[in-house]
Amino acid sequence: MSEAILGVHFSAGPDGKYTADGNVAVVVDGSPVFAVGQERVTRRKYDGGFIESARYALDAVGISISEVKAVAISTFGRPDMIGDPEQAEVERQVRDALGSGPTYQVIPSHHVAHAMSAAAQCPYERALIAVIDNEGSVLGPRVFGDLWRHSLERTSYYLLNGEKLTLVARDHSGPGEVGYGKAYSKVTRYVGFRSYQESGKTMALAAFGDPSRFGALRLFEHGSDGQSRTSLRNSADGLQDLAEFFYDAGYPLPPARRPGERLDPAHIDLAAWCQAELEESVGRRIQALTQEHRVGAVCGAGGVFLNSVMNRKLQDRLNTGDVFVPPSPGDQGLALGAAAWWLWQSSGTLPRWTPQCYLGGQFDDDAIEAELARHPDLNWEKPADHVAEAVRDVAAGRIVGWFQGRSEYGPRALGNRSILANPADPWAREVLNNLVKHREWFRPYAPVAVEDRAGETFDLWSPVPFMMHTAPTRPEAVSALPGGVHVDKSARLQTVSADQNTIFHRLVAKFSDVAGSPAILNTSLNVDGMPIVESPADGIECFRRSPGMDALFLGSIKVTRPGARLP
């Protein structure tokens, strides 16, 4: 009989309120078979729950909770002590929600769960695993009501050596300290974005700024022991601390920007300064640790490693392509780390999985047609070759939705829940921003190139299958990709191989042949404030809310609007 393990990320804090990024993963006989974020199922952005996604995952795999051997649970903000009453309470809550039968076990450490999500997918036998995020588990007993007042996991470094995973360094863990994730979060909020979950906007905005506005001011200093430290402190508010930090240094900031307000040049420069400080300090610390432990490869986990600009700068600093970031390094990937930890603890063997992102739901044409029957106002047909049809549309300047195969686990759309456009069209970005995605002008879109030819257009250390590293665009190619090159001439690149995604590889290769372009433009199939679509119903809703999207390909079916002319 098969052995099934359910990984659950339980995002509720000590106050019982769910925060964000709930997700689940099912591992059968030691291999991941399904994983999905809660937001994809409930359609609530950043949903921190798990019940609906757990039911969805178990139904997809065809098992009940009584057939699951163990439920491994990752948490945050809880004491890291085995047997702590808070852990027992979490186990009880998850058991009450899902049902009896399996063994329920909480992973004591949030950062160990992150480290395991990277280690299990790490392509190297020996590597430094860096875990950098906002806040993890409480180190020691709970003393204060406010989480930030405690000693916390904020930045942790582990050495992976075969079957062993050993903590070798920890930074920013003292009471009230600020780590890389919290500092970047403060700046993200100060420049007018809602929370740390919108840090990607800060990264995009940074390319337009000038960090020299703040002179030689350092956010993080490094002591003789190599540790990273900052004089920026924490508080319940967080933004006042940031303003005081700059005021005391002789660089008073304008008031914090409210969402939707005009961007002041100082806000843009602040984003650039914070990005530069992050790159420099993380790079310096990791470089020193790789030298100290004589290790040549790095794996990154935690939400800060969603910063693809930082990841590329780390490759440059270490002079190697051996900087691996899994498809879902943030909390959205913790369910997989939880399942890996349980397997490691129960068997004594560290699971090793080929990194993959296509672990979510899949819908055949019968299911798609059944959903389309509920929308008689939409036109639809089955082209003889839906890949070739989509290529012709995009080459002609149309913007299409692309819904194929299994959905992606994690925050990136990597060719199965995507919107595609022609990067050679100088207006593509404007149409996507204003009529399709409804998002800010400064955010770039991702070009996708076939893996074996990407190096002709982009300066690569290694393939970028999960869109986790940016790449400079070669000077001679910049003018050919106005829709896919950022203001700093970098690209938020994805490479695709036939082994990774057969259909998407065929589409990208065929588009290059038909349009004469080295890449196709890819962005997630959603609009601002909407999770990436999971089901055909979600795809149709997104299509209706995006007047600039000319067609939607659901499997082999092409959907258009009433009155639209099918070419």
Contact 7, 24 (CB under 8 A): yes
3-state helix, strand, coil in the chain (%, to 5): 35, 20, 45
Quick one: DSSP state of residue 486?
-
Match 């059944």 to its residue by tokens.
Answer: 370
Q: Give the orientation angle of helix 265-292 with respect to helix 199-206, to 10 degrees.
A: 100
Residue 256: DSSP 8-state: P
pLDDT at 83: 77
**Size of the chain in residues:** 567
- From CA 110, how far away is CA 333, in angstroms rounded? 12
What is the structure's pLDDT at 162?
93
From first to last of the 567 residues of the chain, give the pLDDT tens digit: 589 999 999 998 777 778 899 999 999 999 999 999 999 999 999 999 999 999 999 999 999 999 999 999 999 888 877 778 888 899 999 999 999 999 999 998 999 999 999 999 999 999 999 999 999 999 988 888 888 888 999 999 999 999 999 999 999 999 989 999 999 999 999 999 988 889 999 999 999 999 999 999 999 999 888 899 999 988 877 899 999 999 999 999 999 999 989 999 999 999 999 999 999 999 999 999 999 999 999 999 999 999 999 999 999 999 999 999 999 999 999 999 999 999 999 999 999 999 999 999 999 999 999 999 999 999 999 999 999 999 999 999 999 999 999 999 999 999 999 999 999 998 999 999 999 998 999 999 999 999 999 999 999 999 999 999 999 999 999 999 999 999 999 999 999 999 999 999 999 999 999 999 999 999 999 998 899 999 999 999 999 999 999 999 999 999 999 876 545
Q: How many CA atoms lie within 13 A of 419 on its CB side?
A: 29
Q: Which of 439, 435, 378, 422 is nearest to 549 (CA)?
A: 435
Yes or no: say if 467 and 414 are a contact pair by the CB < 8 Å rule: yes
DSSP secondary-structure letter at 152?
B
Burial class (CB in 10 A: 0-12, 13-18, 19+), 225: exposed
Cα gap 171→105, rounded to integer Å: 27
pLDDT for 376: 96
**The predicted structure's pLDDT at residue 565:** 54
Token digits of residue 312? 């590329």
Give the pLDDT of residue 84: 83
CA distances from 535 to 114, 401, 404, 539 (A): 28, 13, 10, 6
pLDDT score, position 558:
98
State the pLDDT at residue 1: 56
The Cα angle at residue 202 between residues 201 and 206, in degrees rounded to 5: 120
Distance, CA of 120 to CA of 115 (rounded, Å): 9
Nearest to 342 by CA among 104, 90, 47, 547: 104
Q: What is the pTM of this model?
A: 0.96
